[in-house]
Amino acid sequence: MSIILYPLLVLGGLGLLFGIILSLASKAFAVETDPKVEEVRSVLPGANCGACGYPGCDGFASSVVEGKAPVNGCAVGGKAVAEKVAKIMGVGAGETEKKVAVVLCQGNNSKAVKKYKYIGINDCKAANIVSGGDKACQYGCLGLGSCKAVCKFGAIEIVDGIAVIDPEKCTSCGQCIKACPKGIIQLVPYSQKVAVKCRSLEFGKPVKEKCSTGCIGCQMCVRVCPAEPKAMQFENNVPHIDYEKCINCGLCAEKCPTGAIWSILEKKKVEDK
Amino acid sequence: MSLFTILISTIFVNNYVFARFLGICPFLGVSKKTETAFGMGVAVTFVITLASVITWMIQKAILDKLGLEYLQTIVFILVIATLVQFVEMVMKKTSPTLYSALGVYLPLITTNCVVLGVAILNIQEGYNLIQTIVNSIGASVGFGLALVLMAGVREQLELSDIPKPLEGFPIALISAGLMSIAFLGFNGLV
């Protein structure tokens, strides 16, 4: 009997004793962490996307409390989270307008011409290696969904060979922007109603041959822009909208001969073209 | 065996790293900077000495009395693991700088064979309590010495022109081997 009992008692007893000592020690030597870190962490989205530039939400929370990171540093949480964090920290949130990612290409399967049939890994980066992907236009969306794969919020859908981002679900974390091998995803203000959805640096006929909705560089949009000073700037054969100056009148989208400028004001009209 | 002989013997002649090849993991892992090497040496000294005393007492008072010598390994590991946790807590509270500098190697002392090796050898050699304490201090000082010496060598290696395939760990292992040979010179001292 004692052969079994003694080892059990000795090991069990020692284990219990050490357990008690350790639990007492953890109370006695508890390191006090700033309770604010916990609070800030609890209001963050918790996706650990890293868009803030810190290692996960925990890293961001402690940096905010240490004063190294701005209270509105969480792009994903946007204004709501910034306000909560600011409240915890006791400072003003500052102005952060929600931004959403937009794919600057409308060359879907019916509009863009393909130069070859791509059969390979279903990934934009892989397709891009094969002479820039299957679309004749080298600036267009490949539609294989590399951005969709990295989106943690399910905001991206591939519709007819083009990635489309749902502005309601988008949190502007920027992961898709990093994933896109073509670099055609851009953050625009949520309230922005007009965007130039073409990034082709080519001019005139070559654009027209490759895509029916590409920007041919006619500069009509620049001429009609009523904003003072003009919000539309023409550079490298493609117009750029200065979102701070843009008054969202939608005139450029209306006048664009190829429908390369997209506007939710005139959405129906643009699609008809 | 006099206490002084035990001390000299464990530090130089039977150095745990160079002669017995125990504790090689932290020896290579923490020997990149002299500062952290010294910190690790101090932490290990503390753990080894305390662990040896406690394990010696448990061996004599419980295991030997009850004829449970076969439980030696598992009981010693229990003691060491608890001690390391304890040291970690104390260090986190009193010296956060050292705590973050040692990083993952502090919990690694838990599974460090030097600590268990010293504790078991103390029993095997039949030391009494005083001899155990001296032997433990000698062992950990020897370990710390090896660590600091190696860190010094590696800091120099950082600046020297090393053939590409030997950069980093390979050259560290070669220098460790050379140092081990150098320590062979102490053979016959005691």
Query: For chain A, which domains are there?
Result: 35-89 (1.10.15.40), 97-191 (3.30.70.20), 192-273 (3.30.70.20)
Is residue A235 over pLDDT 80? Answer: yes
**How many pairs of residues across A and B have Cβ atoms under 8 Å apart?**
42
What pLDDT score was predicted for residue B101? Answer: 66
Distance to chain B for A18, nearest Cα, Å: 6
Whether pLDDT at A266 is above 80: no
**CB of B39 within 8 A of CB of B151?**
no
DSSP per residue, A32-57: PPPHHHHHHHHHS------TTSSSHH
Q: What is the mean pLDDT of chain B?
A: 86
Q: Is B74 close to A18, i.e. CB distance below 8 A? A: no
Cβ-count burial of B189 within 10 angstroms (0-12 exposed, 13-18 middle, 19+ buried)?
Answer: exposed
Report the residue of B76, B86, B98 to disrupt the A interface, i.e. the one with the largest count of A CBs within 10 Å: B86
Write the DSSP symbol of residue B13.
Answer: I
pLDDT grade for A16, boundaries at 50, 70 and 90:
very high
- pLDDT digit string (tens) for A185-205? 988 888 888 888 888 888 888
- CA-nearest residue of chain A to B94? A29
State yes or no: pLDDT of A129 exceeds 80: yes
**CB distance A11–B93 less than 8 Å?**
no
Q: Give the model's pLDDT for residue A95.
A: 57
CA-based nearest residue in chain A for residue B87: A25
CA distance A196 to B27: 61
pLDDT for the residue B177? 92
CB A219 within 8 A of CB A239: yes
Assign B103 a pLDDT band (cuts: 50, 70, 90). Answer: low
Question: Chain A contacts of B93, Cβ < 8 Å?
Answer: 29-31
- Beta-bridged to residue A185, according to DSSP, are A103
Helix (H) or strand (E) holding B159, with range, is helix B129-159
B78 touches chain A (CB under 8 A): yes
Q: What is the pLDDT of residue A272?
A: 45
Q: Which of A5, A26, A31 to mutate against chain B (most B CBs within 10 Å)?
A: A31
Interface test with B, best of A22, A24, A33, A66 (most B CBs within 10 A): A22
Q: Phi/psi at A159 (nearest 5 deg)?
A: -115, 115
Contacts of A6 in chain B (CB under 8 A): 66-68
Q: Does B89 touch chain A (CB under 8 A)?
A: yes
Which three-class secondary structure state does DSSP give residue A157?
strand
Say if residue A269's pLDDT is above 80.
Answer: no
Q: Do A29 and B62 touch (CB under 8 A)?
A: no
pLDDT at B142: 92
pLDDT at A268 over 60: no
Q: Which of A7, A18, A29 sits opposite B90 (nearest CB)?
A: A29
Asked if the C-beta of B65 comes within 8 angstroms of chain A's C-beta atoms, the answer is no
pLDDT band of residue B104 (cuts 50, 70, 90) is low
Report how far Cα B127 is from the mean position of its chain's Cα atoms: 19
In chain B, which residue's Cα lies nearest the Cα of A33? B93
CB contacts of A26 in chain B (<8 Å) are: 89
Give me A75's structure tokens: 């792009």
Per-residue confidence (pLDDT) for residue A273, from 0 to 100 = 40
How confident is the model over B43-74, as pLDDT tens digits? 788 888 889 999 999 999 888 888 888 888 99
Q: What is the mean pLDDT of chain A?
A: 83
Q: How far apart are CA B61 and CA B77, in angstroms?
A: 17
Please list every residue in chain A whose beta carbon sits closer than 8 Å to the beta carbon of residue B66.
6, 10
Among the ranges given (A99-103, A170-174, B113-117), the one the predictor scored with the smallest mean pLDDT: A170-174
Can you tell me the distance from the alpha carbon of B91 to that of B141, in angstroms, rounded to the nearest whole number?
20
pTM: 0.51
Chosen for mutation from A3, A8, A10, A17 (greatest number of chain B CBs closer than 10 Å) is A10
Q: How far is A31 from chain B (nearest CA, A)?
A: 6
Instruction: Please answer yes or no on whether A6 and B75 come within 8 Å at the CB atom.
Output: no
